[in-house]
Amino acid sequence: MKQGTIRLDDAGVVLNGTPVWQHVTGGFNPGSMTAIAGANGAGKSTLLRAILGEVPLTTGTVTLDGLRPQDFGYLPQARKIDRAFPISVTDMVLSGAWHHMGAFGQAGCTIRQRAADALARVKLSGQAGRMIDALSAGQFQRLLFARLLMTDARVIMLDEPFTALDAPTTQDLLGLVCEWHGQGRTIIAVLHDMHQIRRCFPHVVLLSDRRAVWGETARILTPATLQQAYGGLQAHWPGMDT
């Protein structure tokens, strides 16, 4: 197994007495770009959190070969973040560099310049002094990406990063994800848009019936497998021939 590989072997999770998924086996190779797809409630976010160690496995194992906690960058669903917390845009970006700061959390000139550069990269330079609750949904998502820019993460995990965003914002942020992939980072993203997955993500994990179908996107996302995963809800998988 290559250093930096993430491997699940016969992994299963049970929450509140109900199995979420079982007997999941597969791996994310270093530098790969993989989407996690499936109907609502299939356990997509749970898979991310299980890899991060936030959700315990009831069976099986997760192996993180040569990876440390600081090697992971995680973007949760924006709706799960309390935007009422009184923090400025700049301070939230700086929180992404916690591992570079001293014992008292002081940000030096170099780190503050990195934060300014990160905000410029996501087109938020003019918002630096505002509080996060004053941002629009699209601006807040750009801010979360700016915070990720402050990390040195080898693995970037994104939970529904483009949900409810307009086309220009999605295009900008997807471009940033592709840029990270081009730098050799491992990308794992929970996504709903099948056209987007087919166009940009070479690999996919499709969760269905408490199982995972794992492999190359063109081979996995067929009308038959999507029908099994989503039933007749074709609105969830645009761009597919039926």
Write out the two tokens for 183. 């730098």
Residue 205 maps to a domain: yes
**Total domain count for the chain?**
1
Residue 194 maps to a domain: yes
Examine the pLDDT at 236 and tell me if it is beyond 70: no
- What's the CATH number where 27 sits? 3.40.50.300
3-state helix, strand, coil in the chain (%, to 5): 40, 25, 35
Q: Which residues contact 227 (CB under 8 A, 6 or more apart)?
A: none
Q: Which of 127, 141, 38 is nearest to 80 (CA)?
A: 141
Q: What secondary structure, in 3-state letters, does 78-145 show? A: HHHCCCCCCCEHHHHHHHHHHHHCCCCCCCCHHHHHHHHHHHHHCCCHHHCCCEHHHCCHHHHHHHHH
* Domain range enclosing 47: 1-67+154-160+185-242
Q: What are the tens digits of pLDDT across the range 162-192?
A: 998 999 999 999 999 999 999 999 999 999 9
Examine the pLDDT at 22 and tell me if it is beyond 50: yes
Q: Which of 196, 198, 195, 176 is nearest to 187 (CA)?
A: 176
Residue 14 maps to a domain: yes
Q: What are the tens digits of pLDDT across the range 33-55?
A: 999 999 999 999 999 999 999 99
Label residue 159 by pLDDT band (50, 70, 90).
Answer: very high
Residue 229 maps to a domain: yes
Other CB atoms within 10 A of residue 13 CB: 22
Examine the pLDDT at 238 and tell me if it is beyond 70: no
Residue 89 maps to a domain: no
Residue 46 maps to a domain: yes
Q: What is the reported pLDDT for 84?
A: 86
Examine the pLDDT at 231 and tell me if it is beyond 80: no
More confident residue, 85 or 124: 124
What average pLDDT does range 196-208 have in this prediction?
96
Residue 13 maps to a domain: yes
What average pLDDT does range 183-209 have in this prediction?
95
For residue 237, give the DSSP letter.
S
Unique residue bearing structure tokens 């007749």: 232
Q: What are the tens digits of pLDDT across the range 94-149?
A: 988 876 655 445 667 888 999 999 999 999 999 999 999 999 999 999 999 999 99
Q: What is the value of pTM for the model shown? A: 0.90
Residue 132 maps to a domain: no
